[in-house]
Copies of this chain bind each other. A is one copy, B any other.
Amino acid sequence: MNVIVDLCVVPLGVGTSVSREVAECQKVLKSYGLSHEMHAYGTNIEGDWDTVFNAIKTCHERIHAMGAPRISTTIKLGTRTDRVQTMAEKIASVEQKLAQDD
């Protein structure tokens, strides 16, 4: 089962800056070979369900190991059985509608 995920990891107890922990997550996602794209409030990921969730678990383990005693994460995830759809196709589908209206 393929999944498209939006992942936002918020470490607590490490002060106000969380970019070091977010950077570590990017490295984890890369090490799993997952297609991913960071934005200003999270990271889009696409791939096989088990690989994606193993990677997210590793992110939590790695950030705790870096010293964060608590993590609060928000995930949006989409699956569909009617057709295969990539992250790029989701964006293209909206942009096409916008172009038609111009």
Contacts and interface: CB of A to CB of B under 8 A. Distances in A.
- Tell me how many chains of this kind the complex includes: 4
Contact of A10 (B22, B40, B72): B72
A73 to B, nearest CB: 5
A32 interface: no
Interface size of A as a range: 35 or more
B41 A76 contact: yes
Given A16-B13, A57-B1, A26 B94 contact: yes
Given A80-B70, A93-B19, A40 B44 contact: yes
Given A10-B72, A74-B75, 10 more contacts: A10-B10, A16-B80, A26-B98, A38-B95, A39-B91, A40-B91, A41-B44, A42-B42, A69-B82, A74-B74
